[in-house]
Structure 1
Amino acid sequence: MNKKKIIKLLWHFFTILTLLISVLFIIYGLQQDIFYSERALETFFEKFGIWAPILFIIFQIIQVILPVVPGAIGCLGGILIFGPIYGLIYNYIGICIGSIATYSIARNYGTSFISFLVSKRVRLKYQEWVNHRRFDFLFTLAIFSPIAPDDYLCFLAGTTKMKYLKFISIILVGKPLPITIYSFGLEWIFRQIILWL
C-alpha cells in the first residue's frame, strides 16, 4: 500500500471519527438544551475550567460543519461566556477552522456529501454560482457579508477549482468583519430582550 492510499485511509478514518463524535455531542446537546439556551451553554462550558476555550472552539467548528446547530448560539455564547475580546477571538478561530474543514470535506467527497447536510432549497438557490465565471469574486463578497449562508458556500467552494491557498486567504481576511458584526449584533439584541423582560 503506497503512502497516498495510507493518507487517504487515515483521512477517511478521522473524518468518520469526527462525524461520530459530532453526532454524539449533538445528541447530548439536544438532551441538555445546549444548542437552544445560552445559559445552558455557559453552564456546560464552566465545568471544564481552562479547557473551556478549546471545547468552545471545537463547538464552533462543529456548528459550521453540521448546519443543524444554529450558528447564532455559538457566536452569542462566545461573547457572553468569554467576554467581548476573547469571545470574538474564539469565535473567529472556530469558525475559520470549521470553514476550512467544510471546504476540505467537499473537496474529498463532492456534492453527494453536501446533499446530505444541506437542504435542496438552499442547494438549488446557490448551485448556479458554481458555473459562474466570477464565482471566486461572488464567494469573496458573500464571505464578507454577515447574512450570507457562508457555511454552505464553503462546501460549494470545495466543489469548484478554487485553490486551497486562495480559499484560506479569503476566509482568514473576510471572516473578522462579519463575525464581529454578527456576534455583537446578537449580543445587543440579547441585552435588549433581557431588559424588556
Structure 2
Amino acid sequence: MKKNTWFLTLLITVLLLAAGGVLLWRTGFFQAATSLEGLQAYIETFSPYSHLVFFLIQLASVVLAPIPSNLTALAGALLFGTLPAFLLTWAAVVVGSALVFQLARCLGQAFVDRFVSQALSDRYLDIIRRKRDVFLAMAFLFPFFPDDILCILAGLTEISFPRFLVMVILFRPWGLLVASAVGGSVVNIPLWGMALLGMGGLAVFLLGMKYGDRLEEALLRRFRRK
C-alpha cells in the first residue's frame, strides 16, 4: 500500500474510533455501563432505534474495547428477548472482528502497534502464526484470552480472511449466547439451582483470578511445542 493511502486510511480509522468513543461518552454510555439497569435505560432512550443502537454498542465493544460484551448482551436480552439480542450481538462481534482483522491486514505492523502493546504482541503473535486455527479456536472459547486483540494480531499472519471469519462465527458466540439466554429468561432455574450455580460461578471466578495466568501459560507452552 502506498504511503499516502496508508496514512489516509489510518487517519480515517483513528478519527472514526475517536468519534465513536466521544459519542459514547457524551451520550452517557460509560456511566450507564456501570450497572445492568443503567444499560437498559440507556438503550431504551434511543427508541424506536434501540435495536440499531444496541448493535452499534456491541460493535464498539470489539473495536473500542474494553466494553463488556456479555453485560450488554444480557441487558439487550432483557429488552428485546434472547434471540434478537443474541443475533444482534453475534453479528456485531463478527463484523467487528472482521474489521479489525482487515485493518491489521491492510495497514500492517504500524497500525497494530497503535492498538496492541509490545508485550501482548510478543506473547501471542508467534503462536498465532505457527498454530493458527487450533490456537485461535481454543482462545476464542476460553474467557481469559483477549479475543479482540487476537483478532487484530491474526491480521498480521498468513491465515486467509475466509478461514478466520469461519472461526469467529463458530467459536466466538458461545459466551454471548449464555448471557443472552440468562437475560431473556430462557433458562429457568429454581432458587436452589441458582444458588449452586452462583457458588460454582464464584468458585470458577476465584480460581480463574488465582490460576488463570498459570493455565494460560500452560496452554501457551503446549502450543509452543512442535
Specify if TM > 0.5.
yes
Which fold has the larger relative contact order, with Cα–Cα distance below 8 Å and residues 6 or more apart in sequence?
A: 2
Displacement, 1:160? Answer: 0.5
In the comparison of the two structures, how many residue pairs are matched?
188
What's the counterpart of residue 175 of structure 2?
Answer: 178
Taking the aligned partners of 2:114 and 2:12, their CA distance within structure 1 comes to 19
Match of 2:155 among 153, 158, 168: 158
Distance 1:146 1:80, change over 3 A: farther
Q: Counterpart of 2:32 in 1: which secondary structure?
A: coil
Letter aligned with residue 136 of structure 1: D
Runs of 4+ in 1 over 6 A off after TM superposition: 4-10, 185-188
Matches within 5 A, 1:18-167: 18-28=16-26, 33-132=31-130, 134-167=131-164
Letter aligned with residue 124 of structure 1: D
Displacement, 1:150? Answer: 1.3
Percent identity over the alignment? Answer: 23
Taking the aligned partners of 2:119 and 2:183, their CA distance within structure 1 comes to 26
Letter aligned with residue 67 of structure 2: V
Displacement, 1:144? Answer: 3.7
Alpha carbons 2:71, 2:179 under 8 Å: kept = no
Task: Give unpaired runs (5+ residues) of structure 2.
Answer: 186-190, 199-226
Letter aligned with residue 160 of structure 1: T
Displacement, 1:177? Answer: 2.6
Of 32-41 and 11-20, deviating more is: 11-20
Taking the aligned partners of 2:182 and 2:103, their CA distance within structure 1 comes to 30
Larger Rg: 2
Displacement, 1:12? Answer: 4.8
Distance 1:9 1:171, change over 3 A: same
Distance 1:14 1:36, change over 3 A: same
Task: Give unpaired runs (5+ residues) of structure 1.
Answer: none
State the superposition RMSD in angstroms: 3.3
Taking the aligned partners of 2:133 and 2:8, their CA distance within structure 1 comes to 30
Q: Counterpart of 2:108 in 1: which secondary structure?
A: helix
Distance 1:30 1:99, change over 3 A: same
Alpha carbons 1:103, 1:156 under 8 Å: kept = yes
TM-score, scaled to structure 2: 0.68
